[in-house]
Amino acid sequence: ETGVTQTPRHLVMGMTNKKSLKCEQHLGHNAMYWYKQSAKKPLELMFVYSLEERVENNSVPSRFSPECPNSSHLFLHLHTLQPEDSALYLCASSQGTERNSPLHFGNGTRLTVT
Amino acid sequence: AQKVTQAQTEISVVEKEDVTLDCVYETRDTTYYLFWYKQPPSGELVFLIRRNSFDEQNEISGRYSWNFQKSTSSFNFTITASQVVDSAVYFCALSEGAAGNKLTFGGGTRVLVKP
């Protein structure tokens, strides 16, 4: 496999459920990101991990909990979400967190909160 | 605060027509990077180009070309002889400051190329 892989592709969950999104990158990168893409809103950066340490938490509610066990894997744990959290969640990776490092994105997980 | 504006929300063209996507940005930094990404229906954003603020040379890559005008804070993207496979949402993004790779994205422009 190559690139950035996200699972599941689609997820429907109730507001009381707990679920996790998974991201895996096969590019040898050392930085990983979670972005949220809502309808009619620009892409929003949620979290940045560099060398498995969280370096950015962009004022994200605590019902979203990221985990980066190693430089190839990134998770987003979800609990007690709200309907407005329904969105496309995109994972990305880059070689370093320098501002000229292009991001490589996965296909995203389409999340629907009912 | 940085800001990226893509005024065109949707553009529809017929195959083989040229299409230009506008991107205007705001930043107080003198050093910054601009990017274009393509998001096809499959969902993933695909990196197309990176330009630093000190390099105003226009670039051409196949049917794609980019026009960076620092004086007007614009970084426009042209697809020449469009094809159906070019149908996607295109995002312009800005990275600035010393705090790492935090991109500010524009709202995106949906391009629909009809056969």
> What does the pLDDT read at residue B56?
81
> What does the pLDDT read at residue B100?
61
pLDDT tens, chain A, 114 aa long: 569 999 999 999 998 889 999 999 999 999 999 999 998 788 999 999 988 778 777 789 999 999 999 999 999 999 999 999 999 999 999 998 777 888 999 999 999 999
Token readout for A56 is 């950015």
- Would you give the DSSP letter of residue A87? E
> What does the pLDDT read at residue A56?
76
Do residue B106 and residue A92 have CB atoms under 8 angstroms apart? no
A27 touches chain B (CB under 8 A): no
Average per-residue pLDDT for chain B: 91
Are residues A74 and A84 in contact, defined by beta-carbon separation less than 8 angstroms?
no
What stretches of A15-103 adopt beta strand conformation (E)? 18-25, 31-37, 44-50, 53-57, 64-70, 73-79, 87-94
Do residue B101 and residue A101 have CB atoms under 8 angstroms apart? yes
Give how far the C-alpha of residue B21 lies from the chain's centroid of Cα atoms, to the nearest Å.
Answer: 7
Q: How far is residue B101 from each of residues A13, A49, A94, B23, measured CA to CA in Å?
A: 32, 11, 9, 20
> What does the pLDDT read at residue A97?
78
Token readout for B19 is 């299409």
A99 touches chain B (CB under 8 A): yes
User: Where residue B97 falls among pLDDT bands split at 50, 70, 90?
Assistant: low
Do residue B45 and residue A92 have CB atoms under 8 angstroms apart? yes
SS3 B72: helix
SS3 B21: strand
* pLDDT tens figures, B5-39: 999 999 999 999 999 999 999 998 888 899 999 99
Question: Which chain A residues have a beta carbon less than 8 Å from that of B101?
Answer: 31, 48, 94, 96-101, 103
Token readout for A37 is 């893409």
